[in-house]
């Protein structure tokens, strides 16, 4: 990292770029600067050819308890419009490398929205998710009503966002919000193991797969199919495709170069 | 610290004593809340390796204080607001919890004893599923824990007839872990609790965690739990100590870490 951060900690572990929210005293409450730092770190990892995957986690007792209320207390509509803080969130969606989130403790409000920006989520068995915004007279503003609804459908999204009630890890797993649960003590270790496995997959294929799956969420099936097809063709321009198929025929392990 | 509970930590054991002896330690809003807080305090206290829940005076706990029951009362809300949070706190505790049943454990008092990991009983102790006598259903996790301890048929029998179950009979059913004679009651409880408090606490917590999960897991998921639990236990100081002690042919000294 060519910049030091105040609200997050970054570390490179092999081919994994790790980002940890680091305001444990306030349960990693998200402020604007923290979001900007997360985005900057992710964009740097995205440009770094040695990094193949990004892991996002929280230091201390929780992933993050929510957004920093102090920062929003005296905000008015016009200042929020001019500030346009949510563009940072839009850019998080443009990260090309897979992002895996590891959630322990809580991911509430803005932190739940941040978790929903990840491509895959692992959580501790005791983790809890939720959108408590309604209790403060507001609503999610960084994609909560949109991403959660696309993920679980209208029925449960409506219930959870209107009531503000907590979603247990078991429930989150049941509704496909998270991929797996682990004992909290081994959550990071298992997440890093999984990330390490994906990091060894052919990088170009990983990139095209992530992009295509994301398009499936927004595009009509027809457009999505066309998009997928182009990406499929594109991979045949790569050396990794030649290597992958040759190795399969020769019954040996492929050596992918990301080219 | 508390009004209706005595809380004391001695030799790595946290003693939580329900302290409304003139009311046979019947539950009130305060007592529910304070038992919950005391369990939480003991769970967090690193110097505690085991918990004992017991009653002051001649009863363990006689259940809900019926003098507080009125016609307008919403029994469901009483459970949701008062009892369920207490039971959930107890369920979250990964340290061994002993119910030292000194006298009658009736109604929700019996439920509390059932939710503990071990039940030690004096010969004056008894268990009563009192609910049926006032036209109610055993609550506070009672019907969840009881069949897991003594089996479905016996649980049904006790819950439906609500007959007083003396400690000796409870011991035969496997409901009571050990009988402790009244004249050596305190020493007996302390010895049992201190033994547990000086065992590998993390491993005990994982045993509790996985035994509970075994009731709602398939084998494949459960085997994965085994792997995670053993990985966690394998990283503890107590595991290293246990192995060294074995190799050096001496008794292990566990720290609960």
Per-residue pLDDT of chain B (257 residues; tens, 9 = 90+): 899 999 999 999 999 999 999 999 999 999 999 999 999 999 999 999 999 999 999 999 999 988 888 888 899 999 999 999 999 999 999 999 999 999 999 999 999 999 999 999 999 999 999 999 999 999 999 999 999 999 999 999 999 999 999 999 999 999 999 999 999 999 999 999 999 999 999 999 999 999 999 999 999 999 999 999 999 999 999 999 999 999 999 999 999 99
Is A186–B228 a contact, with Cβ atoms under 8 angstroms apart? yes
Q: What is the pLDDT of residue A2?
A: 58
In terms of domains, do B106 and B148 share one? yes
Question: Does residue A185 carry a catalytic annotation?
Answer: no
The span from the CA of B244 to the CA of B251, in Å, is: 10
Q: Are B178 and B192 in contact (CB under 8 A)?
A: yes
- H or E element in which residue A104 lies: none
Q: What is the CATH number of the domain that holds B207?
A: 1.10.12
Per-residue pLDDT of chain A (259 residues; tens, 9 = 90+): 657 899 999 999 999 999 999 999 999 999 999 999 999 999 999 999 999 999 999 999 999 998 888 888 888 999 899 988 899 999 999 999 999 999 999 999 999 999 999 999 999 999 999 999 999 999 999 999 999 999 999 999 999 999 999 999 999 999 999 999 999 999 999 999 999 999 999 999 999 999 999 999 999 999 999 999 999 999 999 999 999 999 999 999 999 999 9
Q: B132 Cβ partners below 8 Å, 6+ apart?
A: B138, B159, B160, B161, B162
Q: Touching check for A186 and chain B: CB below 8 Å?
A: yes
| Active site (annotated) includes residue A243 | no
- Contact state of A185 with B232 under an 8 Å Cβ cutoff: yes
- In terms of domains, do B228 and B131 share one? no
3-state secondary structure of A143: coil
Helix/strand/coil percent split, chain A, to 5: 50, 15, 35
Domain count across chain B: 2
Q: Choose the mutation target among A104, A186, A187 for the interface with B, i.e. most B CBs under 10 Å.
A: A186
Helix boundaries (H) for A85-153: 87-92, 110-116, 144-152
Q: Is A67 a catalytic residue?
A: yes
Tell me which chain B residue has its CA closest to the CA of residue A124: B228
- Residue that is last in its domain, among B180, B197, B214: B197
Q: How far apart are CA A56 and CA A18, in angstroms?
A: 6
Q: Are residues B90 and B136 in the same domain?
A: yes
Which residues in B lie closer than 8 A to residue A190 (C-beta atoms)?
228
Tokens of A190: 């298992």
The per-residue pLDDT for B177 is 97
- Residues A67/A73, Cβ–Cβ less than 8 Å: no
B91 and B128 share one domain: yes
Known active-site residue A110 = yes
Alpha-helical runs (H) found in A95-220: 110-116, 144-152, 154-163, 169-174, 187-199, 203-218
**For residue B254, is it within any domain?**
no
Flag if A189 and B231 touch (Cβ within 8 Å).
Answer: yes
CB pairs under 8 A between A and B: 14
Q: Assess if residue B192 is contained within a domain.
A: yes
Tokens of B210: 């996985």
Q: State how far the Cα of B122 lies from the Cα of B183, in Å rounded to an integer.
A: 9
Q: Tell whether B257 is covered by a domain.
A: no
The pLDDT of residue B205 is 97
Write the CB contacts of A200 (distance below 8 Å, at least 6 apart in sequence): A15, A52, A256
Q: Do B95 and B166 belong together in one domain?
A: yes
Query: Which range of residues forms the domain containing residue B144?
Result: 5-197
Within a domain: residue B252?
Answer: no
Residues B205, B222 within the same domain: yes
Instruction: Say if B93 is an interface residue toward chain A (CB within 8 Å).
Output: no
Nearest to B105 by CA among B142, B69, B155, B77: B142
- Is the Cα torsion angle B1, B6, B9, B15 positive or negative in sign? negative
Is B96 buried (19+), middle (13-18) or exposed (0-12) by CB count in 10 A? buried
Q: Tell me the C-alpha distance between A180 and A101, whole Å.
A: 11
**What's the gap in Å between the CA of B240 and the closest CA on chain A?**
18
| Residues B80 and B172 placed together within one structural domain of the fold | yes
Long-range Cβ pairs for the range B181-186 (8 Å, 24+): B181/B122, B181/B123, B182/B122, B182/B123, B182/B124, B185/B102, B185/B122
Are B210 and B95 in the same domain?
A: no
CATH of the domain at B102: 3.90.226.10
* Residues 6 or more apart in contact with residue B102 via CB below 8 angstroms: B54, B55, B58, B59, B60, B122, B124, B125, B185
Buried b (16+ CB within 10 A) or exposed e, B203-223: bbbbbbbbeeeeeeeeeeeee
Same domain for B19 and B73, yes or no, is: yes
CA distance B120 to B141: 19
Candidates A127, A126, A123, A125; CA nearest to A191 is A123
Is the separation of the CB atoms in B122 and B103 below 8 Å?
yes
Going along chain A from its start, the domains and CATH numbers come out as 8-199 (3.90.226.10), 203-249 (1.10.12.10)
């Amino acid at each position: 990292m060519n910049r030091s951060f105040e609200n997050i900690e970054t570390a490179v572990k092999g081919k994994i770029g790790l980002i940890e929210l680091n305001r444990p005293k306030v349960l990693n409450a998200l402020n604007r600067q923290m979001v900007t730092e997360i985005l900057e770190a992710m964009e740097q990892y995205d440009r770094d050819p040695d990094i193949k995957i990004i892991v996002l986690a929280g230091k201390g007792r929780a992933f993050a308890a929510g957004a920093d209320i102090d920062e929003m207390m005296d905000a008015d509509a016009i200042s929020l419009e001019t500030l346009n803080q949510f563009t940072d969130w839009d850019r998080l969606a443009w990260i090309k490398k897979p992002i895996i989130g590891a959630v322990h403790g809580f991911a509430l409000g803005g932190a739940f929205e941040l978790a929903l920006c990840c491509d895959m989520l692992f959580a501790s068995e005791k983790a809890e998710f939720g959108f408590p915004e309604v209790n403060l007279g507001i609503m999610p503003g960084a994609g909560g009503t949109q991403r959660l609804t696309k993920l679980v459908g209208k029925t449960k999204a409506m219930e959870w966002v209107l009531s503000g009630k907590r979603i247990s890890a078991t429930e989150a797993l049941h509704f496909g919000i998270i991929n797996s649960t682990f004992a909290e003590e081994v959550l990071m270790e298992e997440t890093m193991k999984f990330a390490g496995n994906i990091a060894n997959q052919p990088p170009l294929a990983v990139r095209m797969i992530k992009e295509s799956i994301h398009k499936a969420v927004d595009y009509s099936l027809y457009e999505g199919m066309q998009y997928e097809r182009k990406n499929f063709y594109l991979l045949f321009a790569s050396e990794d495709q030649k290597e992958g198929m040759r190795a399969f025929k020769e019954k040996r392990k492929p050596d992918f170069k990301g080219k | 610290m508390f009004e209706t509970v005595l809380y004391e930590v001695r030799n790595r054991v946290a003693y939580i004593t329900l302290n409304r002896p003139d009311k046979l330690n019947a539950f009130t809003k305060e007592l529910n809340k304070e038992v919950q807080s005391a369990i939480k305090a003991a769970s967090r206290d690193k110097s505690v390796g085991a918990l004992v829940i017991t009653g002051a005076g001649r009863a363990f706990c006689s259940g809900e204080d019926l003098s507080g029951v009125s016609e307008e009362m919403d029994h469901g809300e009483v459970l949701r607001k008062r009892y369920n949070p207490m039971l959930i706190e107890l369920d979250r505790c990964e340290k061994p919890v002993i119910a030292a049943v000194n006298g009658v454990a009736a109604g929700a008092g019996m439920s509390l004893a059932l939710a503990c990991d071990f039940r030690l009983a004096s010969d004056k102790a008894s268990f009563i599923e009192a609910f049926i006598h006032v036209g109610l259903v055993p609550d506070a996790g009672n019907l969840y824990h009881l069949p897991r301890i003594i089996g479905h048929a016996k649980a049904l029998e006790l819950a439906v007839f609500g007959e007083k179950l003396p400690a000796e009979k409870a011991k035969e059913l496997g409901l009571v872990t050990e009988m402790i004679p009244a004249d050596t009651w305190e020493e007996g409880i302390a010895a049992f609790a201190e033994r547990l408090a000086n065992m590998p606490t993390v491993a005990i917590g994982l045993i509790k965690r996985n035994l509970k999960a075994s009731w709602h897991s398939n084998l494949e998921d459960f085997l994965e739990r085994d792997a995670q639990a053993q990985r966690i236990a394998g990283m503890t100081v107590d595991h290293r100590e246990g192995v060294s002690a074995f190799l050096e042919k001496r008794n292990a000294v566990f720290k609960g870490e």
